[in-house]
Chain A
């Protein structure tokens, strides 16, 4: 770890001032990923701006039936919140399937959106990585690629986004609220993370001087919902494949469907093609499989992650079958 300056902001304006005034500064929330990466010498901020005292940790019910979640709400509080548990169970399930109790007690909602990939080569500063060092190449393509993406990858990067929560948020049409000294803007979660393309180092649309202040969930979709995570051990591992789904079936026909995937995409992956295939289709295993295949038709595998295409298909089918 390198030496760095530490600044604590007591309100949002102070935080925004600090991030603008201090060169090469980063916001510090729970620190569960940032501090780790600083220890590994991957993140090298000159200043960290501690925002954990900002009053952004509330869950507020909105008049339209949605909720507004403060960006500094701890993951464990999010998962335990009665409104989240009763109306957005998929969110609680997603959070509880990630990390460990200790980490969830620290990690924040905003930080969860900003998590960086767990690609082994990104984490190793002796290896080539376009995300860590633009233009240096990608050691993962041709190396250990078991955890890598089959959707959304480019020739320069195939790293997966590791978040569970974001997969549920993608399925729920969440909106991310961003503030800067220039004002406030609202970005759909599905547009918040970027595809790697030729610039895998740019992971989100967040500007350098912007702060995530809240995540808003519209009213929950009708029907039942579920988050299912498939991984290499029973706990404390990142998803090989995860599925966030909300399904409503009327008279044997899919009347509402939300589907998002984790572990297979370079970003939290909303499965729009599968949704289009399913809406209005009979709620049968055949439809589910056809929809999964539609989504995965463009999947491209590396030497070690070909299994993810089959696994994603079977997991989607299993989840939808279990809900219908």
Chain B
């Protein structure tokens, strides 16, 4: 029996449920000091005075570091393996404030309480500079095409086809900014030993943290160790290096003490970017039979003037429908706010909301079942690039989901289903996410006790990454799951990929699949204790990649060639069908999601338990985006006004129904073990499914997220 496909408990489950797992902020050192940040409360301005007198007087304060006394750090640079600064602002090396919330001082003290009390007593005066902080009035410019992301794409003349289409819908949508809200806030524990630096930091990007600190402090990369064994949730918010990390390392250098900085929740909101808001237009033209003749999807998102990147909001629209003419265009507006960053399924999470809502509107116009409409336009090859799909069986996912949900019981007319006080609505939408595939260095050891050890600096954020790799390794070596141990989350291990783009499981699996035959050869053709005994060694180890300047450059070249080769091969994506039932109170407009079925075409499932959790977690995030989540940025000041879990409304348990997830379990032929990453696809299509269900329940189409009750009452 193979280990792949079995629902093993997570290998880190016991230590996490008993509290034995050591997260970054649990690491302690003799003489550990604590840091806290003072934030600017001006959108853009120049610091005219920074008064640290009161802060310095707080008992236990060791240092108050501002731009007056901070050592100079290096400017971010680019290169083959660039640092991953979240923002281009070198905080505390400038008297200029670029966003409301920018750190302008770091206080170090003997206790966290003293540091925070003192940080609140640093008085900052700023003279304002001209700023633009209101996204709704900011000027948008077309996004340029880059190697990683197309700013625009087209096939035929979609606008003309839209004009002449027998049936057309043309709609505008808005989505608000979102924040990640990982339960573990960002923390950094920094320890200098001469010119050697150790950093404990929950990150999705160990290599990126290392490169960035190397650049900022002018320390060779080999002298920096980054440890990140357990990460308490990331969702993209821990993918880049934000000011807190750098300032903790700076504070440790200035004070000569080990320093820990734990951001407050407010500190996370003010210094770690979130998801951009968007304005989107989707227009679809079709003939009377529902065959799409035109698909237009345009977007405006924002980036900070000092960092952040464009979000691929229209990407799924180039892959989902076989429209004869397609026009996609992304625009960007620059604002004086904290840089945006990626958050679970950047692009598709909000792009599918607009696209899949519009498809539902078209189905309603055509008096057609929304699944039938989608299947009438299901492509056999990628619509724009005319490449093959590495696999695509969305049709089967819809059939499976519809059966499990009982879709054929639905009466199509809005407001036609009711349970007493509750208006009932059933909605459906397509999920789509293209997992990326990176490269990983790794080593694999077989020991005389019959166990194998996989070592790779990948990231365990609670999704079961180590468990999945133990399963993949067990099968690759033909040994039991229990005989595999996995080490991860440390830059002293062979370098793993960053955890992003749903790449990690596949990228590390590829390394395992390269290493297993190597190990077999090293053991003389057979993985067994007897074979090892013949070698007269305590263990045999093989590795891939090397952590040297040459090795890193080779790895980067390997990555780029793989990326380009993959893209030529075809379009690889997870697709799925999201079904939900909502109940809307007929008097008050309160919306409750009461039922959910998701059916996914996501390749081979390595571990049904952890995969289901990943998919469910994504769907929960989608329910939040649909109904309640919104970062409130005051358009007058650029200040985030709800930086807390009390006022940023994530779904609570009572908002989340039992979520039933299914998959086809058909391998992707181009991926190791046939697997595709499922970390992000769950959120895609989810908000649209809710919005479509709300329309079915109430007859009211809400195109502006979140769908709060005042928009339907």
Partner of B587, one of A3, A127, A233, A318: A318
B652 to chain A: which residues have CB within 8 Å?
Answer: 233-236
Q: List 22 A-B contacts (CB under 8 A).
A: A1-B113, A1-B116, A41-B120, A120-B641, A121-B641, A126-B639, A127-B639, A143-B634, A143-B641, A144-B634, A230-B590, A232-B628, A232-B649, A233-B652, A233-B654, A240-B709, A240-B710, A307-B713, A310-B713, A311-B588, A314-B588, A315-B588
How many whole Å from B687's CB to the nearest CB in chain A?
Answer: 15
Known pairs A311-B709, A317-B587, A318-B587; A3 contacts B636 (CB<8 A):
no
Partner of B655, one of A1, A234, A318: A234
A237 to chain B: which residues have CB within 8 Å?
Answer: 649
In the complex, the answer to whether B710 meets A3 with C-beta atoms within 8 Å is no
In the complex, the answer to whether A120 meets B632 with C-beta atoms within 8 Å is yes
Q: Does A198 contact B (CB under 8 A)?
A: no
| 8 cross-chain pairs, A with B, having the tightest CB-CB distances, nearest first | A307-B710, A234-B654, A126-B41, A318-B587, A235-B654, A120-B641, A314-B587, A230-B588
How many whole Å from B640's CB to the nearest CB in chain A?
Answer: 9
B120 to chain A: which residues have CB within 8 Å?
Answer: 2, 41
Known pairs A144-B641, A235-B653, A315-B587; A120 contacts B628 (CB<8 A):
no
Partner of A233, one of B421, B627, B636: B627
Q: Does A124 contact B (CB under 8 A)?
A: yes
A127 to chain B: which residues have CB within 8 Å?
Answer: 639, 641
Partner of A2, one of B117, B589, B639: B117
In the complex, the answer to whether B587 meets A124 with C-beta atoms within 8 Å is no
B588 to chain A: which residues have CB within 8 Å?
Answer: 230, 241, 311, 314-315, 318
Q: Does B49 contact A (CB under 8 A)?
A: no
Known pairs A307-B713, A317-B587; A233 contacts B113 (CB<8 A):
no
Q: Does A65 contact B (CB under 8 A)?
A: no
How many whole Å from B179's CB to the nearest CB in chain A?
Answer: 15
B88 to chain A: which residues have CB within 8 Å?
Answer: none
In the complex, the answer to whether B647 meets A120 with C-beta atoms within 8 Å is yes
B632 to chain A: which residues have CB within 8 Å?
Answer: 120, 144
Taken residue by residue from 111 to 135, chain A's Cβ proximity to chain B (1 for < 8 Å, 0 otherwise) reads as 0000000101101101100000000
A63 to chain B: which residues have CB within 8 Å?
Answer: none
Taken residue by residue from 128 to 163, chain A's Cβ proximity to chain B (1 for < 8 Å, 0 otherwise) reads as 000000000001001110100000000000000000
> Restricting to A184-243, which residues have a CB under 8 Å from any CB of B?
230-237, 240-241
Q: Does B377 contact A (CB under 8 A)?
A: no
Closest chain B residue to A316, Cβ basis: B587
CA distance A144 to B632 in the complex (A): 8
CA distance A314 to B713 in the complex (A): 9
A146 to chain B: which residues have CB within 8 Å?
Answer: 710
Taken residue by residue from 271 to 310, chain A's Cβ proximity to chain B (1 for < 8 Å, 0 otherwise) reads as 0000000000000000000000000000000000001001
Q: Does B642 contact A (CB under 8 A)?
A: yes
Majority DSSP secondary structure for residues of B touching A: loop
Closest chain B residue to A100, Cβ basis: B652
B655 to chain A: which residues have CB within 8 Å?
Answer: 233-235
In the complex, the answer to whether B708 meets A120 with C-beta atoms within 8 Å is no
Q: Does B651 contact A (CB under 8 A)?
A: yes
How many whole Å from A101's CB to the nearest CB in chain B?
Answer: 11
Interface residues of chain A, those whose CB is within 8 Å of chain B, are 1-3, 41, 118, 120-121, 123-124, 126-127, 139, 142-144, 146, 230-237, 240-241, 307, 310-311, 314-315, 317-318
In the complex, the answer to whether A311 meets B713 with C-beta atoms within 8 Å is yes
Closest chain A residue to B644, Cβ basis: A123
How many whole Å from B565's CB to the nearest CB in chain A?
Answer: 46
How many whole Å from A245's CB to the nearest CB in chain B?
Answer: 14
How many whole Å from B117's CB to the nearest CB in chain A?
Answer: 6
A124 to chain B: which residues have CB within 8 Å?
Answer: 639, 641
How many whole Å from A42's CB to the nearest CB in chain B?
Answer: 11
A142 to chain B: which residues have CB within 8 Å?
Answer: 636
Q: Does B305 contact A (CB under 8 A)?
A: no
> Restricting to B111-157, which residues have a CB under 8 Å from any CB of A?
113, 116-117, 120
CA distance A318 to B636 in the complex (A): 38
B587 to chain A: which residues have CB within 8 Å?
Answer: 314-315, 317-318
A2 to chain B: which residues have CB within 8 Å?
Answer: 117, 120
How many whole Å from B698's CB to the nearest CB in chain A?
Answer: 14
CA distance A311 to B712 in the complex (A): 11
Q: Does B437 contact A (CB under 8 A)?
A: no
Partner of A1, one of B117, B628, B713: B117
CA distance A126 to B653 in the complex (A): 33
Most central of A1, A41, A233 by chain B CB within 10 Å = A233
B703 to chain A: which residues have CB within 8 Å?
Answer: none
B116 to chain A: which residues have CB within 8 Å?
Answer: 1
B641 to chain A: which residues have CB within 8 Å?
Answer: 120-121, 124, 127, 143-144
In the complex, the answer to whether B653 meets A233 with C-beta atoms within 8 Å is no
Closest chain A residue to B636, Cβ basis: A143
Closest chain A residue to B58, Cβ basis: A3
Taken residue by residue from 602 to 644, chain B's Cβ proximity to chain A (1 for < 8 Å, 0 otherwise) reads as 0000000000000000000000000110001010100101100
Q: Does B592 contact A (CB under 8 A)?
A: yes
How many whole Å from B570's CB to the nearest CB in chain A?
Answer: 42
How many whole Å from B352's CB to the nearest CB in chain A?
Answer: 23
A123 to chain B: which residues have CB within 8 Å?
Answer: 647
B628 to chain A: which residues have CB within 8 Å?
Answer: 232-233
CA distance A241 to B636 in the complex (A): 28
Taken residue by residue from 413 to 457, chain B's Cβ proximity to chain A (1 for < 8 Å, 0 otherwise) reads as 000000001000000000000000000000000000000000000
CA distance A240 to B585 in the complex (A): 15
15 extra interface residue pairs, beta carbon distance < 8 Å, beyond A146-B710, A241-B588 = A1-B113, A1-B117, A2-B120, A120-B632, A120-B641, A120-B647, A127-B639, A143-B634, A230-B590, A231-B590, A232-B708, A233-B649, A235-B652, A307-B713, A311-B713
